[in-house]
A and B are shown apart, each in its own frame.
Chain A
Amino acid sequence: MAEMILRLHIQGKSFSTDRGELPVLGRIDIALGAREIVALVGPSGCGKTTLLRIVGNLDTDFQGTLDWCGAAMPRIGTVFQEPRLLPWRTVRQNLLLAQRSEDPELADALLRTLDLAAFSEAFPSTLSLGMARRVAIARAFAIAPQLVLLDEPFVSLDPAMAARSRELLLNAWRARSTAALLVTHDRAEAAELADRVLLLGERPTRVLQEIIVPQPLRRPDPMP
């Protein structure tokens, strides 16, 4: 049995609106192994981002439990749907600022891994969207995370750029394997990256189907 890092049990989650309570998430159980990538695939608006925010401890208002399997809350690196970089800091500074104690070597190594070394002193406004998204991925890995949350990190990129970014993401993941939850609406992307794919339904969302990917394209597995 692989070492587990997370057991999430949600009984329900709703938002207050002018027209009363809007149930978003139904009963959902997710278990995540320490080096496992699980993809959450579902239609727009089904609550995938809400699910990630709950795991990231950014939303604690839900019914259920978030269990770190007896350990303290792990270091979590989040890649938001928009890059959310600080425009007044250079690419490198964005990475260093996210780290609790600055580790320039790790930051520089990640910039090289994600093909950003030439842009380390650039300001985010000079980057393309694809590059900014890669900086956000580098930032998430810059804190040496035990868990990475990826919220549609390749959305609105052209297919070639998305494929290249996926490849670079896997390079970063191989260099320091972590658990990862990937939100996407692209099944092919999920199958390419994940060990398991959870198909989510309409609101209130629950897991419709769990698919074990026999041999994800990200093989070979990282060294333990």
Chain B
Amino acid sequence: MFLLAWQIAAILAESRLLPTVTSVLRAMLQQTISGALPWNLAITLGRVAAAFTLSLLLGSSIGIAMGRWRRLDLLLDNAVTVLLNLPALVVIVLIYVWFGLNEIAAIAAVALNKLPTTVVTLREGARALDPALAEMAESFHMSRWRTLWHVTLPQLAPYIFAASRSGLALIWKIVLVVELLGRSNGVGFQIEIYFQLFDVTLILAYTFAFILVVQMIEWVVLQPLERRATRWRR
């Protein structure tokens, strides 16, 4: 319905600022055949995956530790609040200035932007852990690993999924900004080039291709994983 309305509006407008759906699809096809779209998409996805993994692992560890140990929570709480309120752009620019326009700085900048929300989400998860189940595990002398895997992590799963889904949505947007500001490849960089050329067709072609891929990750990976992890719920 949306695509149909867009197509009709674009035909009526006859402007290069609002290309038709078919021309965007054609541009996507051409870019795919030339290899430019898959190449840049893969580079951006690699950065998304790296930043996503880094922020999730680091943020979860810090968040769980803060949820479990009150002293650590008091020590780091202000830092987390500052990071939460720091504009993404400021973090990106500062990290590029301090560490140079390189791949590690780009991924670190993205991960740092996502880190505080993961910390806050998992801190809540750790605070909500059921002490009765921990005591049950202790009474049966379950090993630390067994307790972590079978007792603690399943309780944290909803929080990890919440952090993952919101994380994916946030990270891919920030990755594009990071690429636009300081990388010479990736979807963000391509969009910047086509912005300078005022080529809305190619801007939309890259944007939709990327949205499609992220949506596929949500449908094919995250949602089935979440369904599997929560199938015990009646």
Residues of A whose CB lies within 8 Å of any CB of B are 56, 58, 76-78, 80, 82, 84, 86-89, 97-98, 100, 123, 125-126, 139, 143
Contacts and interface: CB of A to CB of B under 8 A. Distances in A.
Interface of B: 132-133, 135-136, 138-142, 146, 150-151, 154, 229, 232-234
A158 B111 CA distance: 55
Given A82-B132, A97-B146, A58 B151 contact: no
B147 to A, nearest CB: 10
A168 B202 CA distance: 72
Contacts of A56: 139
Contact of A125 (B133, B140, B141, B233): B233
A80 B136 contact: yes
Given A76-B139, A143-B140, A126 B150 contact: no
A98 B150 contact: no
B139 A88 contact: no
A86 B139 contact: no
B234 A126 contact: yes
Contacts of A82: 132
Given A84-B135, A97-B146, A100-B141, 9 more contacts: A76-B139, A77-B140, A82-B132, A86-B151, A88-B154, A89-B150, A97-B150, A98-B140, A125-B234
Contacts, number: 44
18 contacts: A58-B138, A76-B139, A77-B140, A80-B132, A84-B133, A84-B136, A86-B154, A87-B232, A88-B229, A89-B150, A97-B142, A97-B146, A100-B141, A123-B232, A123-B234, A125-B232, A126-B234, A143-B140
SS class of chain B's interface: helix, strand, loop or mixed? helix
A88 B232 contact: yes
Nearest to A84: B136
A132 to B, nearest CB: 13
Contacts of B229: 88
A87 B136 CA distance: 13
A58 B139 contact: yes
Nearest to A59: B135
A163 B138 CA distance: 30
Contacts of A58: 135, 138-139
B66 to A, nearest CB: 24
A154 B151 CA distance: 25
Contacts of B133: 84, 86
- Across the A-B interface, give the 6 residue pairs with the lowest CB-CB distance, nearest first: A84-B136, A88-B232, A78-B139, A98-B140, A123-B232, A88-B154
Contacts of A139: 140
Nearest to A80: B136
B150 A86 contact: yes
Nearest to A145: B140
Contacts of A84: 132-133, 135-136
Contacts of B135: 58, 80, 84
Q: Which of A76, A82, A84 has the most CB of B within 10 A?
A: A84
B225 to A, nearest CB: 14
A194 B233 CA distance: 38
B41 to A, nearest CB: 36
A181 to B, nearest CB: 13
Contacts of A143: 140
A89 B140 CA distance: 16
A78 B138 CA distance: 10
Contacts of A126: 234
Nearest to A56: B139
A70 B123 CA distance: 44
Q: Which of B133, B142, B232 has the most CB of A within 10 A?
A: B232
